[in-house]
Structure 1
Amino acid sequence: MTSTTWQVLETGPLVTVQDRGRIGLAHLGVPRAGALDGPAAALANRLVGNGPDAAVLEVLLGGLAVRAGGGCWVAVTGAPAPVSVDGSARALSRAEWLPAGGVLRVGAPAAGLRSYVAVAGGFAVEPVLGSRATDTLAWVGPPRVEPGVELPVGEPTGELRPLDTPPSPPPGALRVVPGPRDDWFTGDALDELCRTTWTVGADSDRIGLRLEGVGLRRARDGELASEGMVLGAVQVPPSGRPVVLLADHPPTGGYPVVGVVDEADLWRCAQVRPGEEVRFTALPRPPAPGAATG
């Protein structure tokens, strides 16, 4: 099988190319980017025999239609969207054959937000700073995928896995460890964060999950000097309403961080819709480096 291209016929609200992101460049001011639902993207790649670094398409709320220049194996995972090839229904989370000239469609999911499309060989767009991920904060990396675009497909190299089992999901609440700035809030801010039921705001995006509810109360006025931010940090702006920083978050920020979401739970932030509820549950603070653990 030779490499080929896909012609993009239709897109929904947002389609981007993503891989595992630009890890280790935050000190240069470069956001990480990468697939928001990492387990779903990894599953799609495994199904079609790709390695973990292969690029996939991240599709927000469906609406994608593409035509294959050559026959290829594909897989769609993540939010449970209807999938079809030339009008015939195909399965989610399973390797499916897309013939040369065939049209793959990914419709609007009944739940969740983001679906992932993998092709055997991965999408061979030009890497930027070592990654094919699109960062929507500074638009580093490939441009957003629009109708009329042609996407190059790489050579398949791995063994097809027509079936695979997604990992078991973690608990329903977002597990969070205490952050470094709880002294900026009155009382036990992490406990208050976990007692409150938050609603996902309509302005949530790949940069942050913005939550609405009775805000956390500040014990100090003013703002911090900008400091480094990590993936999953729960920042609290003056409104008191938390923001969970996601893959396209800026490398620095000046709002205090009350906690950090466990990495294994971040995929939930990729799939929760505006208006849906989110809860947190506290994990113990990890020991300081070099501290005795008994």
Structure 2
Amino acid sequence: MIVVDQVGPLATIQDLGRPGWFDSGVGAAGAADRASLRLANRLVGNPEGHAAIEVLLGGFALHAEQRVTIAITGAPAPATVDGTPVGHAFVLELAAGQVLRLGYAPVGVRSYIAVRGGVDVAPVLGSRSRDTMSWVGPEPLGKGDRLPIGPAPRTLPTVDFAPVAPPPADLVTVRAVLGPRDDWFTDATALFDGGWEVSTDSDRIGARLDRRCGRPLTRNDERELPAEGMALGSVQVPPSGQPVVFLADHPITGGYPVIAVVIDADVDAVAQARPGVTVRFVRVVSGSEPAGRA
């Protein structure tokens, strides 16, 4: 077992989600930054989809009741074991009774703590992820929670350290495909002009953006749009004109037009962009090819 000693703004258990339940009104959820979850699991020798702890900003602490192997990835929150600083994206060994503490990350939003064997709470609809929108999955973590650890996999950790760059502190550039409702706007290419600022009104459901510089988004069609399916990375524009980039716990349907969709490879970067960071959209036709100005 590992025991939670302290929780900051929010800490949840996350794996790679529960796809396949849209027809029942349940979204996929899962880690907001999937690449960081996968890396943490690989570092401790787990399959990439094992459940881990997603920590919002930091301020988290736990101790081990038995010897465990862990790794911390994502937002580089300063970490200590019994007061001794330890590295980020390192493989760490905690002896029984030792305490791991995370301070508050200077950049990024979400850190991931993986333990060899995975966090072995009961799955709900095939996943151990907490969906903060539909309230499906294990409850957010609180002080005193005891988390079981699954059996150690046969594979052994093969590296001690993964040299990964921290999330950008000032500017995040993401690629997006225009549409499917770009024709509802006077000039949808205004999305790609200037920059947008991540709002404090952002969470695991989506990153809301305020216009920092550039042309505003104005609609040329004020009809109500019938509810339609929403994909991860959809850039939905409500009447305020403030785009929302849908993240892990996004609704499965929505009634505001989607002006563009962030490509899957860049969604993790949006999930790590903290309030005040500038987001710049680059238009692509496919997953990687920039498009000419329309």
Tell whether the 8 Å contact from 1:43 to 1:166 is kept in structure 2 after alignment: no
Q: In structure 1, how many angstroms separate the alpha carbons of the residues matched to 2:20 and 2:174?
A: 25
Aligned to 2:49: 53
Tell whether the 8 Å contact from 2:27 to 2:250 is kept in structure 1 after alignment: yes
Aligned to 1:85: 81
TM-score, normalised by the number of residues in structure 2: 0.91
The residue matched to 1:63 in structure 2 has which SS?
strand
Tell whether the 8 Å contact from 1:39 to 1:167 is kept in structure 2 after alignment: no
Aligned to 1:272: 273
Report the AA paired with residue 162 of structure 1. Answer: V
Q: In structure 1, how many angstroms separate the alpha carbons of the residues matched to 2:56 and 2:233?
A: 20
Q: In structure 1, how many angstroms separate the alpha carbons of the residues matched to 2:242 and 2:216?
A: 5
Report the AA paired with residue 186 of structure 2. Answer: T
Aligned to 1:291: none
| Alpha-carbon shift at residue 163 of structure 1 (Å) | 2.9
Paired residues, what number? 280
| Alpha-carbon shift at residue 7 of structure 1 (Å) | 1.1
Find out whether 1:74 has 2:74 as its counterpart.
Answer: no
Tell whether the 8 Å contact from 1:95 to 1:161 is kept in structure 2 after alignment: no
| Alpha-carbon shift at residue 32 of structure 1 (Å) | 1.1
Gaps of 5+ in 1: 287-294
| Alpha-carbon shift at residue 237 of structure 1 (Å) | 0.5
Q: In structure 1, how many angstroms separate the alpha carbons of the residues matched to 2:272 and 2:180?
A: 27
Percent of counterpart pairs with the same letter? 51
Tell whether the 8 Å contact from 1:178 to 1:285 is kept in structure 2 after alignment: no
C-alpha RMSD of matched pairs (Å):
1.7
Tell whether the 8 Å contact from 2:235 to 2:260 is kept in structure 1 after alignment: yes
Find out whether 1:148 has 2:144 as its counterpart.
Answer: yes
TM-score, normalised by the number of residues in structure 1: 0.91
Gaps of 5+ in 2: 288-294
- Farther off after superposition, 195-204 or 11-20: 195-204
Tell whether the 8 Å contact from 2:89 to 2:164 is kept in structure 1 after alignment: no
Correspondence list, 1:1-294, <5 A: 5-157=1-153, 158-163=155-160, 165=162, 172-187=172-187, 189=188, 191-213=189-211, 215-284=216-285
Q: In structure 2, how many angstroms separate the alpha carbons of the residues matched to 1:101 and 1:128?
A: 30
Tell whether the 8 Å contact from 1:85 to 1:103 is kept in structure 2 after alignment: yes
Q: In structure 1, how many angstroms separate the alpha carbons of the residues matched to 2:26 and 2:194?
A: 33
